[in-house]
Amino acid sequence: MALKFIDLFAGLGGFHFALEELGCECVFASELKEDLRRLYQVNFRGCRIEGDITKIEPEDIPAHDILCAGFPCQPFSQAGKRQGFKDEHDRGNLFNYICAILQKHRPRYVLLENVANLIGHDKGNTWDVIYHQLSDSVENGGLNYEVKQVILSPHQFQIPQHRRRIYIICENRDYGKLDNFQFPTTTTRKCDICKIIEEDDMDYIPLKEETRNQLSVWQEFIDQCVSHKVEIPSFPIWAMEFGATYDYRLIAPAKQSISDLQGKKGKLGSSIVGNSIDECLSCLPIYAQSKKDKTFPDWKIRYIEQNREFYVQNKKWLDKWMLKIQNFENSHQKMEWNCGRENVLPTLSDKIIQFRASGIRVKLPTYSPALNLVGTQIPILPWITLPKSEKNTKESKGRYMTRKEAAKLQGMKKLKFGDDNFKLSVPRSFAALGNAVNVTIVKHLAKRLLGL
């Protein structure tokens, strides 16, 4: 008889895809967001899916053998407020609803997924609470589950995406103690992003002319480095520091006096002018305007030093090049060359490009950066030739990764993005994929856990 499972905080159904492929049956799912619930019903017709799990009593959930949950990661993520169980919106305490369901139904197995930082959050205290709630004996207020955890990334299984997540595996001690369970063997072999690319996929977003121009200007920067026999910097390039002379080492500009700032050079070497601190600060790079701390952190001081030194050494050709980026958005005036130097062509056209808040990131076409919750940070694949179509009237190169390709990175080859009655938008699709549970990794773990 098929093992029954429930899928909590279900999202796109990563656990569902994995366990269904292993012959298990989903008897209940929950997902807070209405559009994702509708898409879940498109992909898993007939499966009962509810909304807010806090509104469902544990006894109203069907009996099951496996509880799966990619429980909300915001309270535990380095990118969030890092409040853990003290999260002001009570998201961290959603883990307690998982515990209430486990207490009521006592399923044999538990599969949980979260951000890798969960293990170190609050100096390990958050993980300590989770571990003891699951592992301690009933007499000591726990749930009496054997618990193991591991941090894995798809690229360790030859899937071209770097995305570290913690996977928590549990077995009810009434049945066993994970005696025969072993985590899957991983590999260090290089990945190839071309494994997931579908060049004939017409559901793509073409690059805007503005984006093409920005990449062209940064390619010129690289070309200038090569022609002047200068190594492409391995540190983040903050072009707005080129020509700047404001003081930053001992005290942050926001804590300086107006007279300390006036007369010096700010962003892209422009003069600092103004009759107030705010007016003077507006002449600086955006990251130098912070009023929070009296001094800059060491890493920021180091990056400013490196960029100013690079400018002094290459002023002759940089002054002319800087004119071309002066009207770029702040984040587009930064570039991170994450390609190394050995046997690497000094070109953008064969690399993966990602426009991030921290700058334009360039990396080798081995694996994709982690899919991001922000739809504007979809990886760019510059080398792909676009066929002529209504959206592309002349043959050109370069487009964003498609939803279908991103779904393959998450092991969701069967994922549908809608039907005749409902379709998920492209930005929402990428946001959901960025938060999805990786099907391939879950299958590896579940096969070993269930002895299949």
Tokens of 154: 């798809």
Tokens of 15: 């656990």
| Residues whose CB is less than 8 angstroms from the CB of residue 204 and which lie 6 or more positions away in sequence, other chains included | 386, 399, 400, 402
Q: Which of 280, 252, 253, 284 lies closest to 267, judged by CA?
A: 284
| Residues whose CB is less than 8 angstroms from the CB of residue 278 and which lie 6 or more positions away in sequence, other chains included | none
Q: Which residue has the tokens 């002094």?
A: 312
Distances (CA, A) of 315 to 13, 307, 312: 53, 11, 5
Cα(40)–Cα(36) distance, rounded to whole angstroms?
Answer: 6
Strand-pair partners of 400: 380
Amino acid 39 reads: L
Tokens of 427: 């930005």
Residue 37 burial class via C-beta count within 10 angstroms: exposed 0-12, middle 13-18, buried 19 and up: middle
Cα(445)–Cα(18) distance, rounded to whole angstroms?
Answer: 10
Residue 132 burial class via C-beta count within 10 angstroms: exposed 0-12, middle 13-18, buried 19 and up: middle
Asked if 367 and 221 touch (Cβ cutoff 8 Å), the reply is no
- Is 73 an active-site residue? yes
Tokens of 381: 């694949």
Q: Which of 366, 370, 351 lies closest to 430, judged by CA?
A: 370
Asked if 353 and 362 touch (Cβ cutoff 8 Å), the reply is yes
Q: How big is the chain by its Cα radius of gyration, in Å? A: 25
Termini Cα distance of the chain: 14
Phi, psi (deg, nearest 5) at residue 303: -65, -40
Q: How large is the angle between the packed helices 14-21 and 439-449, nearest 10 degrees?
A: 50
Distances (CA, A) of 62 to 42, 56, 84, 318, 395: 22, 11, 29, 66, 55
Cα(144)–Cα(26) distance, rounded to whole angstroms?
Answer: 24
Catalytic residue among 26, 68, 73, 339: 73
Catalytic residues: 73
